[in-house]
Structure 1
Amino acid sequence: MRPKAKYAVIHRHRGEYPISVMCKFFGVARSGYYCFKKRLGETDRDAVVAKEIEECQRRTDKTYGYRRVWKWLKGRNIQRDPKTVLRIMKKYGLLSEVRRRRQWVNLGQQVHKYENLLNRQFRAVRPNEKWVTDISYIHTKEGILYLSMIRDLYDNSIV
């Protein structure tokens, strides 16, 4: 659990239990709790920059990374460090959608060549005599899924 969440629980129950006991129980420093308590009333200083970043991402369909957003902000006379822009983008969920190169380009090149045992004789006389298989690649947002099935040539059932 993050310290910020622990401090929130301590703050919620500050009237019921002593603060020092709760800090010891949660394994956080008392000074950290009081620093958290001091910052409770403050407004978020990143909110103004986050609105500008959000406008930039809306205009560019979330294609700008933090470096280009930093340059865009610089053009609007908003001076921030590039890593600060990255931190704010992570904090508010404004990161760009990363387009990656396809990694499955060399799938047609086989490492091993196996000999053709069936020789186009796809009829089987008894069950479990001849099996065939194939692999399909299904592309999803999370990555590539592999679908492989084994078929018995006797009755075309999936094994």
Structure 2
Amino acid sequence: MPIAKLCTWFGIPRRTVYYKPVKAAPKVDPRFAEPIKKMIEEEPSFGYRTVAWLLGFNKNTVQRIFQIKGGQVRKRAVGMRPRIHAVPSVAVAPNERWSTDLARI
């Protein structure tokens, strides 16, 4: 049975059948991982920023090692926060009600 026909039957693109991951598995340098692991075993409440500061490592390196090893790193949301939309202004005549938005200044 041709792959193209099977993909049509199941409704999936053909490229998913041929997909091969390009990226290699992330590697951790043991000279960074061992002191980080030791410090986390001593003080499990420390986050990656505290560990990086105490060991004198780059915090991005420590964060990456935490993520690879399944540590306690939580990513923050990226982008604009949702705005609160207030009730529309109910003014009977002009120049009665004024408002401004200083959120982007």
> Quick check: TM above 0.5?
no
Which of the five TM-score ranges fits, normalised by the shorter chain? Answer: 0.3 to 0.5
TM-score (norm 1): 0.30
TM-score (norm 2): 0.43
- Of structures 1 and 2, the larger Rg is shown by 1
More strand by share: 1
More relative contact order in 1 or in 2 (CA 8 Å, sep 6+)?
A: 2
